[in-house]
Amino acid sequence: MPEWHELVGRTILLGLTFADAEGNVITRTQRHGLIEIADPERGIATRLVAPGQPWDGELYWLPPDLGNLSEAPPGAYRLRSTGETIVDPDFTGSWEIRSPAPEDDTPELRSAREDEARRFGFPT
């Protein structure tokens, strides 16, 4: 497992699974980029790389959990969600993003999820 100070300036391939409140998978997507901030309190901020996509250059924050990261074996990784091929990323990581339970969902939360989906090209 990497240390916090080893992350900044390294490339990462992200696997993101979107699920409903019960954990049923809605969709999966992938993104990649360069880690700009790695802070055990705030999390991991990745500057996404996606030429021609609306999320190119966006800063995407991940939770402060190094347990989801692994050093990536050398090789070419094809992203099913975009068709891109990423060669020799430094790390891979997977996260599940769950919707809140219906009783905890609010119009504000729904609006924030929709805004994030548009900004990062996530399915809605």
- Say if CB 58 and CB 31 are below 8 A apart: no
Q: How does pLDDT run across 37-52, given as a tens digit for each residue? A: 999 999 999 999 998 8
Tens digit of each residue's pLDDT (9 = 90 or more) over 14-36: 999 999 999 999 999 999 999 99
CA nearest neighbour of 79 among 27, 124, 25, 15 = 15
Neighbours of 32 (CB within 10 A): 19
For residue 58, pLDDT beyond 90: yes
Q: How far is CA 73 from the centre of its chain?
A: 19
Contacts of 107 (CB under 8 A, 6+ apart): none
pTM above 0.85, yes or no: yes
